[in-house]
């Protein structure tokens, strides 16, 4: 049949032939090439280039990207400061939201047309019109969650949930101190702690404008960073008992001062070092107090406890669907303006999340 069809087509003038669409798995139409924002050289702007579509590997799906969240890791990669080896050329972006357009072999429970979010940290490639992602990192979302919100949701809210519930075991009414509270992760922690767990949140920010936003998002108090003012506020709220939980994403001096606010048997969650200053803690200094220091990493759970990883991401999606939380997006830029998004985060001009919109 195929041979006969080729013989027939060979007799027809080329200018009269209408190309057949390129069908993906399960009948999904996809293009043979697509645009992506490529990093050709560290510390240089991303450039839009065309990529050819490659065959899916077993266990992968292809996503038509509608939006992609911009995270600190993306900025670090562009600066040449990744925590893993990056081979150029490279397409950053890993917090992806869109629609399934092709399903590879061995994939179950995901179909063409499904609206999904994905965390493609292994390969990235989110600053593009489409990408392939391992099915284990893909999660369905309901129509009530728009694509931009989906791209701003799972990385920060899942990390917040892990740190607050599984690690710190936050309880209703407890007092929690959140550093960099106006950042993407910080606002997610404030949202979950204040609006879901009804905790008393004290947010620490870099300026009053950001502090006002944090208060609007549910914090009991928010202040610009000043060691004396921070400790004074904590003592006023807790009657000098200290906070039950510290959630730090900054490191450096702020982390060291935050430890002074920790109360008896409090839990200090370390979720990143935005300051790029990793504090060195002398173990003997913990002998004079009774606090617990603990790290939290969504990527680590993915590697060693994939069931918890998937469940915590699904929990964050459920909370958003129920209207309990809502990611705050301060800026949305088109794919063509992706360098503006990198700049906003690099220069700390943004609050909450920055999202790249892909048409």
The CATH code of the domain that includes 25 is 3.90.180.10
Do 164 and 295 lie in a common domain?
A: yes
Q: What angle do CA 197, 138, 134 make, to 5 degrees?
A: 140
- Residue 210 pLDDT greater than 70, yes or no: yes
- Residue 319 included in any domain: no
Looking at per-residue pLDDT, the higher value among 31 and 213 belongs to 213
- Expressed as residue numbers, the domain containing 248 is 155-300
Residues 131, 201 within the same domain:
no
pLDDT, tens digit, for every residue of 26-69? Answer: 444 455 899 999 999 999 999 999 999 999 999 999 999 999 99
CATH classification of the domain holding 256: 3.40.50.720
pLDDT at position 250 over 90 = yes
**206 pLDDT exceeds 70?**
yes
Given CA atoms 283, 286, 290, 292 in this order, what sign does their dihedral have?
negative
pLDDT per residue as tens digits for the range 125-153: 999 999 999 999 999 999 999 999 999 99
Instruction: Looking at the structure, tell me whether residues 64 and 37 fall in a common domain.
Output: yes
At 265 the pLDDT is: 95
Do 294 and 168 have their domain in common? yes
* In a domain? residue 3: no
- For residue 11, pLDDT over 80 is answered with no
DSSP 250-304: SBHHHHHHHHTTEEEEEEEEE---TTSB-----GGGGGGS--EEEE--HHHHHHH
Confidence label for 275 from pLDDT (cuts 50, 70 and 90): confident
Q: Are residues 145 and 163 in the same domain?
A: no
pLDDT at residue 111 is higher than 60: yes
Mean pLDDT on 150-160? 98
Same domain, 286 and 163: yes
- 139 & 167 share domain: no
Domain assignment of residue 68, yes or no: yes
pLDDT score recorded for residue 30: 52
Domain stop point among 300, 315, 344: 300
- Cβ neighbours of residue 68 closer than 8 Å, sequence gap 6 or more: 93, 94, 95, 96, 97, 126, 127, 151, 355, 356, 358
**Overall domain count for the chain:** 2
More confidently predicted of 272 and 71: 71
Cβ neighbourhood burial of 109 (10 Å; 0-12, 13-18, 19+): exposed
pLDDT of residue 342: 97
Average pLDDT of the chain to the nearest whole number: 90
User: What's the pLDDT at 274?
Assistant: 82
What does the alpha-carbon distance between residue 51 and residue 213 come to, in Å, rounded to a whole number? 40
Whether residue 348 lies inside any domain: the answer is yes
Q: Are residues 137 and 165 in the same domain?
A: no
Residue 341 domain flag: yes
pLDDT for position 200: 97
6 domain-assigned: no
* pLDDT confidence band for 168 (50 / 70 / 90): very high
Same domain, yes or no: 30 and 144: yes
Q: Are residues 138 and 184 in the same domain?
A: no
| Mean pLDDT, range 92-113, rounded to an integer | 97
Q: Is residue 88 part of a domain?
A: yes
Domain assignment of residue 7, yes or no: no
More confident residue, 83 or 340: 340
Q: Are residues 261 and 165 in the same domain?
A: yes
Lowest pLDDT segment from 17-31, 43-57, 198-212, 254-268: 17-31
Do 67 and 122 sit in the same domain of this protein? Answer: yes
């Amino acid at each position: 049949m195929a041979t006969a069809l080729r013989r027939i087509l060979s007799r027809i003038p080329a200018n009269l032939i209408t190309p057949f669409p390129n069908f993906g798995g399960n009948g999904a139409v996809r293009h043979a090439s697509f645009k992506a924002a490529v990093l050709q050289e560290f510390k240089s702007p991303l450039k839009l280039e065309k990529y050819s579509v490659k065959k899916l590997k077993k266990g992968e799906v292809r996503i038509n990207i509608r939006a992609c969240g911009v995270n600190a890791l993306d900025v670090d990669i562009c600066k040449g400061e990744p925590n893993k080896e990056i081979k150029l050329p490279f397409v950053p972006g890993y917090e992806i939201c869109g629609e399934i357009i092709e399903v590879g072999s061995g994939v179950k429970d995901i179909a063409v047309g499904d609206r999904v979010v994905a965390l493609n940290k292994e390969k990235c490639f989110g600053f593009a019109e489409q990408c392939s992602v391992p099915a284990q990192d893909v999660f369905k979302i309901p129509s009530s969650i728009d694509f931009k919100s989906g791209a701003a949701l799972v990385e920060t809210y899942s990390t917040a949930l892990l740190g607050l519930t599984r690690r710190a075991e936050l309880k209703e009414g407890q007092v929690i101190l959140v550093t960099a509270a106006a950042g993407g992760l910080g606002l997610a922690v404030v949202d979950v702690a204040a609006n879901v767990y009804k905790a008393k949140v004290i947010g620490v920010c870099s300026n009053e404008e950001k502090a006002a936003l944090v208060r609007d998002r549910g914090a009991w108090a928010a202040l610009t960073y000043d060691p004396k003012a921070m400790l004074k506020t904590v003592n006023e709220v807790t009657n000098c008992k200290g906070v039950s939980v510290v959630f730090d994403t900054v490191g450096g001096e702020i982390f060291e001062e935050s430890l002074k606010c920790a109360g008896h048997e409090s839990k200090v969650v370390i979720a990143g070092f935005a300051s790029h200053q990793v504090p060195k803690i002398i173990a003997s200094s913990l002998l004079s107090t009774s606090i617990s220091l603990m790290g939290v990493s969504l990527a680590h759970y993915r590697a060693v406890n994939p069931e918890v990883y998937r469940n915590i991401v699904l929990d964050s999606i459920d909370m958003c669907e129920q209207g309990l939380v809502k990611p705050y997006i301060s800026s949305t830029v088109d794919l063509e303006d992706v360098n503006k998004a990198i700049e906003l985060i690099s220069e700390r001009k943004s609050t909450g999340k920055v999202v790249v919109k892909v048409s």
